[in-house]
Structure 1
Amino acid sequence: MSTQTGDESTPGTLTAELEQAADQELPEGRFADRELSWLQFNERVLELAEDDGLPLLERVRFLAIFASNLDEFFMVRVAGLKRRIATGMAVTAASGLLPRQVLEMISVKAHELAARHAAVFAEQVQPALAAEGITLVHFEALHDSEKERLHKYFRKMIFPVLTPLAVDPAHPFPYISGLSLNLAVMVRNPNTGKEHFARVKVPPLLPRFIAVDARGRPHRPEDAPDDDGFRSFVPLEDVISSFLYYLFPGMEVVEHHVFRVTRNEDLEVEEDDAENILKALEKELLRRRFGPAVRLELAQGFTPRLRDLLIGELGIAETDVYELPSPLDLTGLNLVADLERPELHYPQHLASTARGLAEVESAKPVDMFGAIRARDILLHHPYDSFSTSVQQFLAQAATDPQVLAIKVTLYRTSGDSPIVDSLIDAAEAGKQVLAIVEIKARFDEEANISWARKLERAGVHVVYGIVGLKTHCKLTLVVRQEPDGLRRYCHIGTGNYNPKTARMYEDHGLLTCDPDVGQDLTRLFNQLSGYAPRSKFHRLLVAPRSVRRGLIERIERETAAAEAGRPAWVKMKLNAVVDEETIDALYRASRAGVQVDLVVRGICAIKTGVPGLSENIRVRSILGRFLEHSRVYAFAADGDPEVFIGSADLMHRNLDRRVEVLVRVTDPGQVEDLLGLLDLSMAQSTSSWHLATDEDGEPVWQRHHLDDDGRRLLDLHEHLMSTHRRRLTDR
């Protein structure tokens, strides 16, 4: 089968029968709402925190992840719905629901999940931590000696950075920054009896939970080693509350309560003038800090007068108020989850060097260019080491005198990234270095601006992509002078060039010097940095022009094959499925008898098991130790399977408003490996969530992690780690 998959490829021809089937009207209400589906995803994260079969500190981590996820959901998705309602853009969602209806349903579900999240911590995880000598306690529960130590700590480290802000005719109600913890304080003048409101911000740069020595505490096991693993933690706001009299000398503290505000932090950057994208973004980042409030969290116990005061001053609706047990903001539990207690964590994972890069582990780095010349190398992180593959590839390219040019796309990376260092080294060595930097990567904008300027100062050619599109693809092109001429070495990945997240995110990457891929990347980089809108590609599908079209063509080929009585299937692994055109193509394929298997980590707008529509569609979701992040698209193709990996999910933003790349994997062994991974992810014996439909026709996720005898099903991450360990010992 031809590997021509580019922008100018000839559209597939449907049979007359398939055209007729495609024209059949699909039923209304066939799409699940994306926002409600996202909440179902975060509910699956919460179910991991509830699982007492997981290591305790990992459950703590999942509680923190849930909280962080929900924060972002309100900052972006809920904020977006509110903005559309406020501006009169009450457009019906694909699910058939109006934004106001969706917002009401979100409020009900989010309140339920927030309460459940707090209960999991208070009733399950916190007692389990206490049994292990790790406690979160109130200041008043401490021993006198511990109180005295915290008193000294408060006076030395906390008190100097606190700024109480009074509210009176001379002092208007203060601005409350998004996601900050605050104390609402009511004080009384003992001379006049008059009461005043003040707000005290909990300093965000101080530790969220303050560790105190737990030696001698009754919950500490007698035979416990004397190390940092056994600790009591006191919430920072609790310590501040205990010493409020330092902030208001001569006044009586009548009451105090903790609250937290979430604001609209989505960005709307006008890109009419490409030269001003950077300045426009910096201006928008400043505006983000003052976005309208979209959620108010109150610690239980707020008096009606203070509650009404905050609601009125913040201009927030009653439905956006969340009253929860203390402590608020459980994202801070990451500090507890980081404790050095190996027995309470997942077993340590040591990534191995990928096959093809080192058959025998050695302290000496492999010749990356020689290895890539020998064969295409398929990477699977975090099981395959990022540092000995992608990182080493760029490091060697930076120092190799035969390398003439390096071109790379950067969406998210760490500020101290060895990737950035390698690009700087290459530029300083006189090589041509081009970095396509996406400065609009959500919540990484300021960091990206910072290191983009660092690259520019080192002589790297920095380009901010194409106006109106985010550059989300993960690409590297290295041009090297060799005895037989110039050779192009390429890396195409599904994940970011970030060494830190590469240890936690599951991703694929392809290292190759295939001339077709080299030519494809050369054309694409020219398109990104210059003007080449009509580029053709051999092994790539490139959004926004050809990813949706290319995938739908292949789905339709499978549909035609099924109509003709030939074997047909579609298998996909991705983060989200929302795009209606692609979903409809999958529905039509299911109607024709195509078996459709999807592994979806997050949002899924497909409804499974609907008679006459989706009986042949199965959807699984896998969450656990690693964040499933790779995208794999596979098609039966009449016995010669086509498999693509890349950066694109099936979402409007990916297919229409981003530069995304899928590359076809052609090595038969690698195709077999990827198909085997998809099949294992879908297997009944693998722990996962199954998407079903309830009696009302609405999607529901059911966890399958135990067999009929109550034994745990196969954990995909543990299985793959074990497989890679065996491969390492077999060298």
Structure 2
Amino acid sequence: MKPVSTNDGGTPNSARKRKTSAAKPEPDNGTAKPVRARKTNSSTPRTAVRATRGGSASRPAQEFRALPAAPPAVTSAPTAVESLPDDRYFNRELSWQDFNARVLALAEDESQPLLERAKFLAIFASNLDEFYMVRVAGLKRRDETGLPVRSADGLTPREQLAYIAKRNQDLVERHTNAFELHLRPQLADEDIHIVGWNDLTGADQLRLSNYFSEQIFPVLTPLAVDPAHPFPYISGLSLNLAITVRDPEAGTERFARVKVPSNVPRLMRIEQQPREVRTATFLPLEELIAAHLGELFTGMEVTEHHAFRVTRNADFEVEEDRDEDLLQALERELAQRRFGPPVRLEVAQDMSEHMLELLLRELEVDPRDVVEVPGLLDLTCLHQLSGVDRKELKDRPFVPATHPAFGERETPKSVFATLREGDVLVHHPYDSFSTSVQRFIEQAAADSKVLAIKQTLYRTSGDSPIVDALIDAAEAGKQVVALVEIKARFDEQANITWARTLERAGVHVVYGLVGLKTHCKVSMVVRQEGSTIRRYCHIGTGNYNPKTARLYEDLGILTADPTIGADLTDLFNVLTGYSRQDTYRNILTSPHGIRRGIVRAIGEEIELARAGQTAGIRIKCNSLVDEQVIDALYHASQAGVPVDIVVRGICALKPGVEGLSENIHVRSILGRFLEHSRIFTFLAGGTRWIGSADMMHRNLDRRIEALVRVKDPKLTAQLDYIFESALHPSTRCWVLGSTGEWTPFPASGDDVRDHQVELAKRHGAAG
């Protein structure tokens, strides 16, 4: 697959070049350059109304505690920060938009299987939803409250919102075109059709009309807007029809809203008569509803209808009071989330001006936060196409391999016996999660010699075998502790449910620390072996979720190393008791130790390089934003230390700048699996770390994270190979330039390697 360039018109690179040349941005009073001016006054002409769109069972209180504030990071950088230029960071929000543009490029890449391209279009859409619900919402809140907080690259919240708005409208149009102009016709060529009501045969329309009357009509609630009926509440991310009806007798027009049900598949599959195995035809649910609006407004004339969708602020923080039950506080906040203020209004491009003005007024939406969509709204529905049985249009089915250390699936070896022989590094999804990490917990639950299991849970699946094993262990009389992070964003309600289920089974459930999320992925099993107590541990980069373990690339170490066992014992004492320990033997933890440890390791690499040793730093992560870590990497580059960074998403570091970062190279790899592992390698110092933390403020300052040092030479060789493959000159990737552009690499050639395919082959996984 040849990556598709993301440097189309409208990229935010101009904003970045502006910073490099020290030119100040033109905020245009907080708006991007308008495509069409807009006011909400209904008397304004149409051309003055269309503005740039796209803007901006309870636990007792003592079971969660506060930690002291994190101390300032200790830097070992050889030169002062003042020696570095002011314009040395990219904007994190614009860098995130570049990441989502790379996701979109996968959807545009015609070497990808057709239904996989549809999946990437859906991923792009869901990514953008969350970006608005969290990041844009936060910026808007800062702007509205007048907080004078500038980003690391010097932009005010209003300036960032302006750049985001312009870039987003460009991306939305590109996203729609990728679907309407390319993917939709190509799907039709393969007998997969997404059609409108008027495209159906009379027989199909008759069958669907009967279905509407029997199944859909009773669910719908048309809501009028008039002096007796206030404008209805529009829930976040719901799809709606805005409708104008006319009274044929009085001639008056009224507005009404119909919500498209979310508990019915958005894309309705139409059974072919006679049935064709290859053919799949889908009708969007809103098309079916629109065709039958007359039945909802009997005696009225429907003059127009248009789809719209509101995104609301979901970036809330739980007010954690040590005297209040955290579960109750969180549930209160969750109830309020659906009432957050609007941060985006998506509308059909052909929506009339007077209807748009009404929505803006009633929803209290800023015109700059409107996004015009020139096609089907909410393409997250394309995830449904994965259910189409057309194997030739999808990636080959992927089957993870059982790690050789754990034997065959049919004749598994004892995990405990294996770990007494040495540490094991598992690499998901290439190494099976179910026959390694999951088996570790399940064998511990069933083993009569196991005395205790301690486990963190951040996100897990709906039918989690890990949770089932913990319940089995508790019911068998083992001491089981589960730290369930109920503040995991968008998984809060699911985790509350799990917490209560575990409590009812006798598991000791705790919720973490006040002001901090517990994001580390750690598990410890305490086993009686004769007169000896031995601790077996797992520390990973990903969640204890068997479903995402087949989709996300992650690492984990399984070990019986007594020093790591001692470290996790101390860490769990912090998480469940009153310990304030923040230094350990073989792990680094945040909020106190990870930034300090990484910056110190960078400084040591610099000193060893100056002493004549062969030095080098390699980092693989999801995001690189933290300024102290970035500055330390700049100092390493200035000292001649080569730095290679493989980042999936956001990168605020500027590589390749003469005198600052000419020895730093940044690339991004996207593909079938979501690159999720974090690896930190320091060649001269000989240290390699893996763990849960990205180099972001939230990970380093507001979360409990853990990195573990990998020492076994066999395991460090595995980590080194991951980098060798990712950094290979023929590996398909995007390369970040000094002015912010992401360039597909290599440009051409028949020997282009797929990093994930190479790793699958190396592990013996099939796919």
Q: Same fold (TM over 0.5)?
A: yes
Structure 1: segments with no counterpart, 5+ residues: 1-6, 217-224
* Residues 415 and 451, structure 1, Cα contact 8 Å, conserved in 2: no
- Report matched runs for 1:373-384 at 5 Å: 373-384=420-431
Structure 1 residue 566, shift from structure 2 partner:
2.5
Aligned partner of 2:532 among 485, 499, 505:
485
Equivalent residue, structure 2, for 1:220: none
* Residues 458 and 518, structure 2, Cα contact 8 Å, conserved in 1: yes
Structure 1 residue 537, shift from structure 2 partner:
1.2
Amino acid in the other structure paired with 1:243: H
Does 1:704 find its partner at 2:745? yes
Equivalent residue, structure 1, for 2:763: 724
Equivalent residue, structure 2, for 1:643: 688
Aligned partner of 1:399 among 436, 443, 446:
446
- Report matched runs for 1:284-683 at 5 Å: 284-358=333-407, 361-638=408-685, 641-683=686-728
Equivalent residue, structure 1, for 2:268: 210
How many angstroms apart in 2 are the aligned matches of 1:509 and 1:156?
Answer: 51
What CA deviation, in whole Å up to 9, does each residue of 1:640-697 have, x standing for no partner?
A: x21110000000000000000000111101101101211211122100010002xxxx
- Report matched runs for 1:179-258 at 5 Å: 179-214=237-272, 226-227=276-277, 229-258=278-307
Equivalent residue, structure 2, for 1:219: none
C-alpha RMSD of the superposition: 1.8
* Residues 729 and 746, structure 2, Cα contact 8 Å, conserved in 1: no
How many angstroms apart in 1 are the aligned matches of 2:746 and 2:356?
Answer: 43
What CA deviation, in whole Å up to 9, does each residue of 1:183-242 have, x standing for no partner?
A: 0011111111111100000001100100113457xxxxxxxx943x52111100000000
Equivalent residue, structure 2, for 1:125: 183
* Residues 355 and 377, structure 1, Cα contact 8 Å, conserved in 2: no
Equivalent residue, structure 2, for 1:84: 142
Equivalent residue, structure 2, for 1:222: none
Mean alpha-carbon deviation: is it higher for 361-370 or for 176-185? Answer: 361-370
Equivalent residue, structure 1, for 2:173: 115
**CA 23–721 in structure 1, closer or farther in 2 if over 3 Å, else same:** closer
SS at match of 1:108: helix
Amino acid in the other structure paired with 1:514: D
Structure 1 residue 326, shift from structure 2 partner:
2.8
Does 1:279 find its partner at 2:337? no
How many angstroms apart in 2 are the aligned matches of 1:136 and 1:527?
Answer: 54
Structure 1 residue 561, shift from structure 2 partner:
2.1
How many angstroms apart in 2 are the aligned matches of 1:477 and 1:423?
Answer: 12
SS at match of 1:259: strand
Aligned partner of 1:61 among 119, 144, 152:
119
SS at match of 2:268: strand
How many angstroms apart in 2 are the aligned matches of 1:274 and 1:129?
Answer: 57
SS at match of 2:416: helix
Aligned partner of 1:265 among 314, 333, 337:
314
SS at match of 2:764: helix
Structure 1 residue 157, shift from structure 2 partner:
1.3
Aligned partner of 2:205 among 141, 144, 147:
147
* Residues 274 and 467, structure 1, Cα contact 8 Å, conserved in 2: no
How many angstroms apart in 2 are the aligned matches of 1:12 and 1:557?
Answer: 13
Q: TM (normalized to structure 1)?
A: 0.93
SS at match of 2:355: helix
**CA 319–24 in structure 1, closer or farther in 2 if over 3 Å, else same:** closer
What CA deviation, in whole Å up to 9, does each residue of 1:592-620 have, x standing for no partner?
A: 10000000000100011111100000001
Structure 1 residue 706, shift from structure 2 partner:
4.6
**CA 169–619 in structure 1, closer or farther in 2 if over 3 Å, else same:** same
Amino acid in the other structure paired with 1:315: E
Structure 1 residue 25, shift from structure 2 partner:
1.5
What CA deviation, in whole Å up to 9, does each residue of 1:701-728 have, x standing for no partner?
A: 1111553x4x3610111111222227x9
How many angstroms apart in 2 are the aligned matches of 1:48 and 1:30?
Answer: 29
* Residues 506 and 629, structure 1, Cα contact 8 Å, conserved in 2: yes
How many angstroms apart in 1 are the aligned matches of 2:590 and 2:193?
Answer: 50
What CA deviation, in whole Å up to 9, does each residue of 1:485-539 have, x standing for no partner?
A: 1110100000000111001000000000100010000010011000110354111
Amino acid in the other structure paired with 1:487: R
SS at match of 2:607: helix
* Residues 185 and 197, structure 1, Cα contact 8 Å, conserved in 2: yes
Q: TM (normalized to structure 2)?
A: 0.89
Structure 1 residue 382, shift from structure 2 partner:
0.3
How many angstroms apart in 2 are the aligned matches of 1:397 and 1:152?
Answer: 55
SS at match of 1:703: strand
How many angstroms apart in 2 are the aligned matches of 1:68 and 1:558?
Answer: 40
**CA 93–13 in structure 1, closer or farther in 2 if over 3 Å, else same:** closer
* Residues 31 and 606, structure 1, Cα contact 8 Å, conserved in 2: yes
Structure 1 residue 574, shift from structure 2 partner:
0.4
SS at match of 2:154: coil
Equivalent residue, structure 1, for 2:33: none
Flag the structure with more relative contact order, 1 or 2, with Cα contacts below 8 A and sequence separation at least 6: 2
* Residues 356 and 375, structure 1, Cα contact 8 Å, conserved in 2: no
Equivalent residue, structure 2, for 1:689: 734
* Residues 8 and 536, structure 1, Cα contact 8 Å, conserved in 2: no
Amino acid in the other structure paired with 2:740: P
Aligned partner of 1:39 among 97, 103, 125:
97
- Report matched runs for 1:10-49 at 5 Å: 19=78, 21-22=79-80, 25-49=83-107
How many angstroms apart in 1 are the aligned matches of 2:162 and 2:759?
Answer: 42
SS at match of 1:498: coil
